Amino acid sequence: QVQLVQSGAEVKKPGASVKVSCKASGYTFTGYYMHWVRQAPGQGLEWMGRINPNSGGTNYAQKFQGRVTMTRDTSISTAYMELSRLRSDDTAVYYCARVTVAGTDYWGQGTLVTVSS
């Protein structure tokens, strides 16, 4: 069965960076784009960007350009999202999600990133 398993919760200080991993299993990792979506406490869903696991090509939301880097390691079927220069309003649950022509059909369990001094 398809699974996306993310790394654990993180606590970071303002100005630091965080790197979240997303390990895929149960399907061909290089066959589907992986997207990253975040959700601040009590708020809605916000798209951050996507990576093509086959080519490594990325597209980022304008809001995060210059602060986000998405990478992948095909040998271990894992996608990564690194966010730098963290601020308190980056406190959120970060999700990886597989997107196909049939929607965002699988989501990771979410990784809580807390930014606090």
Partner 1 sequence: EIVLTQSPGTLSLSPGERATLSCRASQSVSSSYLAWYQQKPGQAPRLLIYGASSRATGIPDRFSGSGSGTDFTLTISRLEPEDFAVYYCQQYGSSLTFGQGTRLEIK
Binding site for partner 1 (CB under 8 A): 35, 37, 44-47, 50, 59, 61, 95, 97, 99, 101-105, 107-110
The residue (of 50 and 72) whose beta carbon lies closer to partner 1 is 50
Q: 3-state class of 36 per DSSP?
A: strand
Q: In the complex with partner 1, which residue's Cβ is closer, 14 or 63?
A: 63
Beta-strand runs (E) in the chain: 3-6, 10-12, 18-25, 33-39, 46-51, 58-60, 68-73, 78-83, 92-100, 103-107, 111-115
Closest approach of partner 1 to the CB of residue 3, in Å: 12
Q: Decide whether 16 or 61 has the Cβ nearer to partner 1.
A: 61
